[in-house]
Chains A and B, each alone.
Chain A
């Protein structure tokens, strides 16, 4: 394999990689990825920890602040997961215990049926809907605050994964049904790891082992690496690397957000999710700060009911509708007031929100990780009878956490604005009117950034 050749980027943004940028050129790393230990060496410990978490949630203390399972899930895993996506793309999906469970069920009793057409067609919409539903349920039924509620949610997912693994081929669950799949797909586009193929080698390939399987099964995510448009559905499971007889697959580090600079086929549902996640970040923050009681009182007055089910649903819908409406407005303005281009612009430039989504998600959860992080240690020690009640769970003081949150939001806003610029530049239709197309989206990202900064300025309530 020649080192100095023009590589075909998976995201279509044609550029040359520096020789040696391919991580698989490093012999020890390549040997590890190709070995039978990868990814099992990560999957099994994660599966064991997951089983313990379920046990703790269902059998441990019913008080969130005393439950080790709650601490591991909501104080450690949930805040760290977007960080993993930024550094390693969807690698988490490879070692995710639900994915491992799917593989096991499929291996022993799976029927391996083809994915139903409706899932292929509406999969991401189903993912969008289930993500919204779970977030809504969390607030209305208090899933995070209730260990049993969290356990119930995980068991429901386990059941659905078992059913999916028993019925359908590959990782149908991860690709078309997992509520986190849309989020991880979107977030991984900002990720710093890419998987590409050598187009010269692939052009001569007659086996398609990467997709069909050879040494190990083919791509679990239904991707054909040489035609892969983005990294959104690559788990870095290593199957294509193991299967390729010609060593065509390459793992290349890239700049954060680079995967968003060119979108081949923009999908409305993915942009919609990007806008919805921004709304969810707003809701997550608003419900944990002082102004929430005033907002609730206002909604109660407006709706004439004190039912939290109703009042929260109204607040939730409005919070999600705001970014969607603002994105639609920016799409309308950027289309030089041509109504027919709104949908196209919405789908294409909605991706620019993703860096800010990631930043907002990490910034929000940074508070929980750093202000409640010691809860993981304390609840863990409690399992051995060592009580630590009354000790502060904070790892860093509030001021430091707040400063880190501002830095993250600033980086996210800059990332989103730059992504919007690159998306406009890469769009042939916008040629000659780059500024007119870019400005509305730049303003929009700036507004989202300001809203986030305002929300992070408010003192936030603890999760546990």
Chain B
């Protein structure tokens, strides 16, 4: 019975740790940048607080002149490396990305996944077409070199420690029983 409880405890702790590890990839970010163009307010942010090398979810929120969320707009996002070196003769062509965002969780929100290959300044161009109006707005974001993902590391460390501790307790009990 004790052994069964032990197993359950290990399973619960392991699942919790696994959840912590997995949640490392899904933490909601904040902040962002906002620009008003032609009566349209465009708010750009990332799901993780900062844009980092690798896969990033870009969130774009649109509001019209009455501060009402703008739904059913056609939004496209393009990104390319900005800065002095980009596009210079003799240099490699700048990295460029394009995406068509899908509708986000909130009203007037659009989301797209962009995979930044390099750190540094990136120009993100948001093109919005709503009715007969079209606007194009540029944002410059700093893409950072991603550090270690502590959620993942701690999650794994937790799971491994739990397994080893449970196995050690189990072995000690077995030896004591003999």
Of the residues B53, B152, B159, B170, contact of A62 by C-beta under 8 Å: B53
A58 adjacent to B164 (CB under 8 Å): no
Interface presence of A436 (CB below 8 A): no
Given A105-B167, A109-B171, also A61-B159 (CB < 8 A): no
Which B110-127 residues have C-beta < 8 A from chain A? 117-119
A152 adjacent to B152 (CB under 8 Å): yes
B54 adjacent to A146 (CB under 8 Å): yes
CA distance A58 to B52 in the complex (A): 15
CA distance A162 to B54 in the complex (A): 30
Of the residues A62, A162, A167, contact of B160 by C-beta under 8 Å: A162
Interface presence of A201 (CB below 8 A): no
B167 adjacent to A166 (CB under 8 Å): yes
A148 adjacent to B149 (CB under 8 Å): yes
B163 adjacent to A162 (CB under 8 Å): yes
Which B130-172 residues have C-beta < 8 A from chain A? 145-149, 152-153, 156, 159-160, 163-164, 166-168, 170-171
CA distance A430 to B129 in the complex (A): 71
| Residue tally, chain B, CB below 8 Å to A | 24
Interface presence of A110 (CB below 8 A): yes
**Smallest CB–CB gap between B82 and chain A, Å?**
18
CA distance A12 to B122 in the complex (A): 64
Kindly list chain A residues whose C-beta atoms are within 8 Å of the C-beta of B164.
105, 109, 162, 166
B168 adjacent to A61 (CB under 8 Å): no
B148 adjacent to A59 (CB under 8 Å): yes
Kindly list chain A residues whose C-beta atoms are within 8 Å of the C-beta of B118.
63
A/B pair count, beta carbons within 8 Å: 56
**Smallest CB–CB gap between B36 and chain A, Å?**
33
Interface presence of A155 (CB below 8 A): yes
A58 adjacent to B54 (CB under 8 Å): no
Nearest-neighbor residue (CB-CB) of B171 within chain A = A109
Nearest-neighbor residue (CB-CB) of A146 within chain B = B54
Nearest-neighbor residue (CB-CB) of B156 within chain A = A155
Nearest-neighbor residue (CB-CB) of B146 within chain A = A62
Of the residues B147, B148, B156, B167, contact of A110 by C-beta under 8 Å: B167
CA distance A61 to B118 in the complex (A): 11
CA distance A110 to B171 in the complex (A): 7
Kindly list chain B residues whose C-beta atoms are within 8 Å of the C-beta of A202.
none
Of the residues A62, A156, A159, A163, contact of B54 by C-beta under 8 Å: A62
Which A289-311 residues have C-beta < 8 A from chain B? none
CA distance A105 to B168 in the complex (A): 10
**Smallest CB–CB gap between A202 and chain B, Å?**
34
Kindly list chain B residues whose C-beta atoms are within 8 Å of the C-beta of A63.
53, 117-119, 145
B167 adjacent to A58 (CB under 8 Å): no
Of the residues A61, A111, A155, contact of B170 by C-beta under 8 Å: A111
A158 adjacent to B170 (CB under 8 Å): no
**Smallest CB–CB gap between B19 and chain A, Å?**
14
B168 adjacent to A109 (CB under 8 Å): yes
Nearest-neighbor residue (CB-CB) of A165 within chain B = B167
Kindly list chain A residues whose C-beta atoms are within 8 Å of the C-beta of B152.
58, 148, 152, 155
B145 adjacent to A111 (CB under 8 Å): no
**Smallest CB–CB gap between A148 and chain B, Å?**
7
1/0 per residue, CB under 8 A from A, across B32-71: the answer is 0000000000000000000011100000000000000000
A148 adjacent to B167 (CB under 8 Å): no
B168 adjacent to A108 (CB under 8 Å): yes
CA distance A163 to B17 in the complex (A): 15
Which A128-153 residues have C-beta < 8 A from chain B? 146, 148, 152
Nearest-neighbor residue (CB-CB) of A149 within chain B = B54
| Max chain B C-beta neighbours (<10 A), residue from A62, A111, A146, A152 | A62
Nearest-neighbor residue (CB-CB) of B100 within chain A = A306
CA distance A63 to B54 in the complex (A): 8
Kindly list chain A residues whose C-beta atoms are within 8 Å of the C-beta of B170.
109, 111
Nearest-neighbor residue (CB-CB) of B144 within chain A = A62
Nearest-neighbor residue (CB-CB) of A55 within chain B = B148
Kindly list chain A residues whose C-beta atoms are within 8 Å of the C-beta of B149.
58, 148
1/0 per residue, CB under 8 A from B, across A83-110: the answer is 0000000000000000000000100111
**Smallest CB–CB gap between A98 and chain B, Å?**
13
A166 adjacent to B53 (CB under 8 Å): no
Which A195-225 residues have C-beta < 8 A from chain B? none
**Smallest CB–CB gap between A436 and chain B, Å?**
54
| Max chain A C-beta neighbours (<10 A), residue from B54, B117, B149 | B54
Kindly list chain B residues whose C-beta atoms are within 8 Å of the C-beta of A109.
164, 167-168, 170-171
Which A38-93 residues have C-beta < 8 A from chain B? 58-59, 61-63
CA distance A109 to B145 in the complex (A): 39
**Smallest CB–CB gap between A101 and chain B, Å?**
10
B145 adjacent to A159 (CB under 8 Å): no
Nearest-neighbor residue (CB-CB) of A152 within chain B = B152
Task: Return 27 A-B CB contacts under 8 Å, by A number.
Answer: A58-B149, A59-B147, A59-B148, A61-B145, A62-B52, A62-B53, A62-B145, A62-B146, A63-B117, A63-B145, A105-B164, A105-B167, A109-B168, A109-B171, A111-B167, A111-B174, A146-B54, A148-B149, A148-B152, A152-B152, A155-B153, A156-B156, A159-B163, A162-B160, A162-B163, A162-B164, A166-B167
User: 5 smallest A-B Cβ distances: which pairs?
Assistant: A166-B167, A109-B167, A109-B168, A62-B146, A62-B53
Q: A110-B171, A162-B160 are in contact. List 8 more A-B contacts (CB 8 A).
A: A58-B152, A62-B53, A63-B145, A108-B168, A111-B167, A148-B54, A155-B156, A156-B156
